[in-house]
Amino acid sequence: MDLSSISPTLLVASIMVSATPILLAAIGEMVVEKSGVLNLGVEGMMITGAVVGFAVAVETGSPSMGFVVAALASALLSIVFGVLTQLLLSNQVATGLGLTLAGLGLSALIGKPYEGMRSPTLPRIDIPGLSDIPFFGRVLFGHDPMVYFGLGLVLAVWAFLKFTRAGLILRATGESHDSAHALGYKVVRIRLAAIFFGGACAGLGGAYLSLVRVPQWTEGMTAGAGWIALAIVVFASWRAGRVLIGAYLFGGVTVLQLNLQAAGVQVPVALLSASPYLVTILVLVIISARGQHGAPASLGRPFHASN
């Protein structure tokens, strides 16, 4: 066994890139769940973002444009979910699954003409001087803008939920929509906004896959990343900081596993791939055994004002 060929710098940098799509999707879904809505359609929204972002980047030649339109498109799709669950009071689990089904189908149809094409991708930001600092230079300053955007978003969501009045209202809605309603807050509107935000984030995550991480468009290319994002939210017990840790853990396991193999180490691949999920279950058990309400109390429950 010779691990010397694995460079910790590059490993960490790699993990940051491979975690970014699930980080973006997970932080969005966390906000959705904080408002008391469980949207299982993350996979569908991510892949829609992936194809739309790619198509727009190819057509306009601008990856930034791709990201913007991808966010809008996925947010629009998430509004279908929002209307169904919030206005027509459909079951959230079933609607979310339907969203995934529809998103996978829709993306494959949109993507047909773009298969095998190449798109412009985001360049790495290289700050002369800073990027050359050993270890920290490459890890902290050698990425493309979206990696920083993802980190910034986590910080922003954390601050929003903790310090702002709007964040407080959002959390209150998720804990008890009836009380929030009694206090005069527009529960449905707040949740629709959260769903919209979650959709946009999932779209960005998808677009990051097709525009930076892979980068190309192929049918079904998210390959379960949306489901992993859902797992991360649970793992993080609905806290922004832990979403970051969760994303790096989930994204990191695959990268680490492949790196160990590349260094010539025999690894139990199945066990390693399953481990983040087992850890998530363990975390869930610990939270609930402590008697804390990890999950927002109204999560997944429909709200109707006339009750």
- What's the min distance (Å) between Cβ of 198 and another protein? 17
- Residue selected from 59, 115, 132, 178 as contacting another protein according to rule CB under 8 A: 115
Neighbours of 114 (CB within 10 A): 19
The answer to whether the beta carbons of residues 122 and 144 sit under 8 Å apart is yes
Window contacting another protein (CB under 8 A); options: 24-32, 61-69, 195-203, 214-222:
214-222
Window contacting another protein (CB under 8 A); options: 98-106, 127-135, 166-174, 182-190:
98-106
Site for another protein in 221-250 (CB under 8 A): 221-223, 225, 227, 230-231, 234
- What's the min distance (Å) between Cβ of 179 and another protein? 16
- Residue selected from 80, 153, 154, 200 as contacting another protein according to rule CB under 8 A: 80
Site for another protein in 43-72 (CB under 8 A): none
Choose between 201 and 231: whose C-beta lies nearer to another protein. 231
Residue with tokens 């066990």: 271
Give CA–CA dist 292/152, Å, rounded. Answer: 28
- Residue selected from 16, 23, 38, 58 as contacting another protein according to rule CB under 8 A: 38
Give CA–CA dist 250/275, Å, rounded. Answer: 9
Choose between 69 and 99: whose C-beta lies nearer to another protein. 99
The answer to whether the beta carbons of residues 127 and 133 sit under 8 Å apart is no
182 binding another protein? (CB under 8 A): no
- What's the min distance (Å) between Cβ of 151 and another protein? 20
259 binding another protein? (CB under 8 A): yes
Give CA–CA dist 62/48, Å, rounded. Answer: 18
The phi, psi pair for 59, rounded to 5°, reads -70, -40
Q: Which helix (H) or strand (E) holds 82?
A: helix 63-82
Q: Dmax of the chain from CA atoms? A: 66
218 binding another protein? (CB under 8 A): yes
C-alpha dihedral (31, 37, 42, 44), degrees to nearest 10: -140
Window contacting another protein (CB under 8 A); options: 66-74, 129-137, 156-164, 271-279:
271-279
Give CA–CA dist 59/71, Å, rounded. Answer: 17
Window contacting another protein (CB under 8 A); options: 67-75, 148-156, 191-199, 263-271:
263-271
220 binding another protein? (CB under 8 A): yes
- Could you give the C-alpha distances from 187 to 36, 127, 152, 274, in angstroms and in order? 10, 45, 27, 37
Neighbours of 282 (CB within 10 A): 11
Window contacting another protein (CB under 8 A); options: 64-72, 127-135, 145-153, 283-291:
283-291
Give CA–CA dist 161/278, Å, rounded. Answer: 28
Number of residues that bind another protein (CB under 8 A): 82
- Residue selected from 16, 25, 27, 40 as contacting another protein according to rule CB under 8 A: 40
128 binding another protein? (CB under 8 A): no
